[in-house]
Every structure is written in structure tokens, then in C-alpha cells.
Amino acid sequence: MRLKQIFIALLFALVALSSSAYAEGHEATTHQEESAEKKAYQPKSISELASSFWETTGIKAIIDTDDGEMSADPAGESKEHVMSAFESSLGRIIMILIVFTLFYLAIAKGFEPLLLIPIAFGGLLANIPLAHMAGPEGMLGVIYNMGIANEFFPLLIFMGVGAMTDFGPLLANPKTALLGGAAQFGIFGSLVGAAALGFDLQDASAISIIGGADGPTSIFIANRLAPDMLGAIAVAAYSYMALVPVIQPPIMRALTTKEERQIKMGVQRPVHRLEKLIFPIIVLMLSIMVLPESTPLIGAFAFGNFAKESGVVDRLSDTMQNSLINTVTIFLGLGVGSKLAADKFLVLESLGIMVIGLLAFSAGTAMGVLMAKLMNKFSKEPINPLIGAAGVSAVPMSARVVSKVGSEEKPGNILLMHAMGPNVAGVIGSAVAAGVLLSIFK
């Protein structure tokens, strides 16, 4: 029901966007012609008109590799450069094909469509020749400068995620929070990998945060530490989050025995309402004391959660978890998509980022599972090692994957709530890890 509504809303948004995109491009070209005509109007023969029209078509812009077209960068003129032959022709075509692949993954395979569709469509728009939609005056550039360049949108998203998160399962079994810590090994393990590959430390840190499996955190950190790689990092983070159901299960199965996967976990104790209410305050207080650097993220998250648990501002929390986060998701997706322009994305670093991102994700999953195995050995109550995999954040995707794998092994074994504990702890863990990385480069 709600999904359907969201889908319809998105559809409308897309229609609106594509029509506004059309209008914008159309306006730009007529505007150009007008100003050219005003300067020196000469009577033109029909063949001249036709040839000058040909000059402004996209086909010509793509075929003609040597037209000296400028790249579009939201930061303005200082960062723009003349596009190379590859960037302005074949590169665009490759990027458009990549975008269609993302469409396919989102629609046919159902991989995080809420994010991949806006991102991919933004990528499509950013690769339109001559329209300069990703430039400071273009729609995508405006969106980018409005909320991504200044880290505003990721924080709004975090607020919404906070308002959607139920810490009940974590409070019922607090020990599982440590699993969310173990999975952060994905970040720091891949940091070593990235450094070994020759990225400098600051870039390596920005890339490795992909292992936190948390889109907003990745964007936040990338923006601070390596803004040039933001597009590739965000796309890698969101694509791997979308690929959680593909990446995680083989790792989970490889590291556990059949008996371990069949472990049943007990019923969770009921959680007092006060505990839930105080929890966001505790998290915020701890992070104020230990890591003020990470408080923008944790603060927004705690605010959203506190508004939800307070129970007296349902209207606000409802807005945060529905209309606000949906609106921001559209903007965030399109803004990130603007970094899918050929001249930004088709660089060698992107390949490295994709490889390291995958490594980070796998390492995080593996470490979470191993830690859960260890805890199972020493804990009084049985712990199914599968729930360790949910320690990478990716809420609630990875908890669902854990639950699915668990019920495949033993029908009726429902691990979802148990996996939600490490899952939400993973969100806190990756925000803390992000704060540590920021503090290093302060």
C-alpha cells in the first residue's frame, strides 16, 4: 500500500523532472539563438538555418569529438575544463549505458530502487551534451550546491532514518551492539587496502567509509575528505547497499557451519518505553563526550529518534520519516547523479573505488559473522552467527537478508528482530568510525 504510493509519487516526480528537463534544455537553446540573432542578424538561407540547427543538436555534439565543449561542474568556472574527445563522445555513451544498467537493476531486480532510480536518472541528465545541467546554473548543479556540497541532505536523511529506527531490539539484547562494532572492520581493513593500492591517506579514508554501508555517512565523509571522488564513492556505496542480498549470503555461508546457521534465538524481552526514550539522549551524550566530530550525524539521528519515541510529536516524526525523507531522497539522488557525468566518473580512480568498496563490504560482513561466532561460544544464550552480518549498517536491508538466509536454513526460524539489534548498532558504529576518521584529518 505505502510502497505503491511511494512508487506512484516517484513516477510523478520522474515525469515532472523529465518534462522540466525538456523545458529547460529547450529554453536554453532558444535563448542562445535569440542572443546570437540579436547581435548580428543576417538574412539566412534555409540551408544555413539547417546547418546552424545541426550545430546545436545532440547527435552532432556526440559525433564531433573535437568541438571544445566545456565540462559542467557545480563549483563553477574554476573547475571546468575543455572536455577531451573521449569525455564528450564515447564517454557519454558509456555512461548512458551504465545508467541503463542501473535502471535495469533497480526496476527488474529491485535493488534499492528508491535511490538508484533518482541517482541513475540524474546521471542520465548530467550526460546530456550542451545542456550543462550539472553546471552551477543547471538543475542538477543547483541541487548539488543546495544540499550536497554543504552536507545538508545527508543530515536530513539521517534525521529521517533516526525517526524510522526502532531501537527496541537493541535495547532488549544490548550485547549484540558489539557486532555492529566488529563490522566496522570493513572500513578500517579496506583503509589499509586502499593505502596499499597507492591512494593517499585522506582519499583512502574517504573510500573506505563505503565499508560502513551507510549512504549518508559516505557522502558526508567524502565531501569533507575527497570531494572530487564524491560521485564514485556515493554510487559505490549505494550500489553495494543495493547488492547486499547478493554479496552477503555467500560470505555468511562460507564462514558458518550448518548447525550454527540453524541456531534458534530466544524471545526478546519487552522493552520499557522510557528506555527507548532515553536511548537517543545517551547515544548523543556519549558522542558529545568522545567524538564531537561525529555529532552532526549522530545529533540528527538522535533528534529524529527522540521525536519518534517522545510520542507527543507524531506529526513531526511522521513528516521526517515520510515526506521529508522522500523529498530529500529525490534531491540527494539527483545531486549525486550529477557526479555520474563522463568526465567525473570515467577515471581510473572509480575502478579502484569500486574494488575497494566491495572489499570493504565483504570484510565488514566477514568480521561481523566471526565476532558473532565468538560471542556464541562465550554467551549463555545462544547467538546465531548469521546476525553478525547485519552489523554492517545498510538498515534494514542486511537484517532482512540475515532473516532470509536463516529461514532458508531452518524454516520458521525468524531472526529479523535479533538482526535488527546489530543492524542499528552498525549505524551508530559507522558514524563513530566516521568521527574518528574526521578527527585524524582535522
Partner 1 sequence: MADVNDVNNVVEALKFMVLGMGVVFLFLFVLVKVVELQAKLIAKYFPENAPQTPAVPAVNVTEDENRRVAAIIAAVTEFRNKKS
C-alpha cell at 124: 542520465
State which of residues 135, 181, 335, 352 lies at the interface with partner 1 (CB under 8 A).
Answer: 181
Interaction of residue 107 with partner 1, rule CB under 8 A: no
Give least dist CB 426 to partner 1, A: 10
Q: Which is nearer to partner 1, 70 or 197 (CB)?
A: 197
State which of residues 28, 70, 96, 201 lies at the interface with partner 1 (CB under 8 A).
Answer: 201
Q: Which is nearer to partner 1, 395 or 425 (CB)?
A: 425
Interaction of residue 205 with partner 1, rule CB under 8 A: yes
Contacts (CB under 8 A) with partner 1, residues 387-426: 425
Contacts (CB under 8 A) with partner 1, residues 252-281: 270, 272-275, 278-279
Interaction of residue 75 with partner 1, rule CB under 8 A: no
Q: Which is nearer to partner 1, 219 or 283 (CB)?
A: 283
Interaction of residue 186 with partner 1, rule CB under 8 A: no
Give least dist CB 172 to partner 1, A: 9
Interaction of residue 175 with partner 1, rule CB under 8 A: yes
Interaction of residue 316 with partner 1, rule CB under 8 A: no
The Cα 213–Cα 159 span in angstroms is 17
Cell 557545480 belongs to which residue? Answer: 74
Give least dist CB 442 to partner 1, A: 13
The answer to whether 397 touches 389, Cβ cutoff 8 Å, is no
Interaction of residue 372 with partner 1, rule CB under 8 A: no
Interaction of residue 440 with partner 1, rule CB under 8 A: yes
Interaction of residue 28 with partner 1, rule CB under 8 A: no
Interaction of residue 331 with partner 1, rule CB under 8 A: no
Interaction of residue 284 with partner 1, rule CB under 8 A: no
Q: Which is nearer to partner 1, 27 or 200 (CB)?
A: 200
State which of residues 11, 49, 82, 196 lies at the interface with partner 1 (CB under 8 A).
Answer: 196
Residues making contact with partner 1 (CB under 8 A):
1, 170-171, 174-175, 177-178, 180-181, 184-185, 187-189, 191-192, 194-196, 198, 200-202, 204-205, 270, 272-275, 278-279, 282-283, 286-287, 290-291, 425, 428-429, 432-433, 436-437, 440
